Amino acid sequence: MTTTEQKLLTADDLLRLDSQGVRGELIRGVLCETMPAGQQHGEIVMNLGGMLVIFVKPRKLGRLVGSDSGVWLERDPDTVREPDIAYFSAEKVPPGTLVTGYSQVPPDLVVEVRSPSDSRRAVNDKALMWLRYGVRLVWAVYPDTRTVEVHREGHKVIVLTEADTLDGLDVLPDFTCAVSEIFDL
């Protein structure tokens, strides 16, 4: 009996594939292709991303990136994940720093919006993964229930409804937005 070993890809391979129109993430060297998540998903990402840009940019607090930028989390084998939104503080990525390729430092904040193909467990697993890699705050956004789960290392998950206010806590002090605004399409 023979077995076929799968060739593990590197972060550089993933960048080359992207230039050929292949979109995905790399999980321990294995390509996991991603598909567009639809209009509602995109509008939610833009709503929350826009609110974050309006808060972060004028204060020069750091950088915000969207899902196609990628974050390199592990090497040999390589893992590159793409959060829907990521915030890197100015302390982690100083102003004027040119980052080519994938970020090699974990963000301070990650936003994951549940795609139609994602299970709740998959989104929760992503949130836990981000925390394991040093992300301080993860917001998991659920369009179907119009809720946001707030994940922090060492804390219970907080579930916010449309009647609540999302808070940047110690990662983005003074940032707040009504959860209902995130889903205002």
Mean pLDDT of the chain, nearest integer: 93
Tell me what percent of the residues of the chain surpass a pLDDT of 70: 97
* CATH code assigned to 37-182: 3.90.1570.10
User: In this predicted structure, what is the pLDDT of residue 79?
Assistant: 94
Task: Indicate the burial class of 104 (C-beta count within 10 angstroms; 0-12, 13-18, 19 or more).
Answer: exposed
Q: Where are the domains of the chain?
A: 37-182
Tell me how far apart the alpha carbons of residues 130 and 152 are, in angstroms, rounded to a whole number: 10
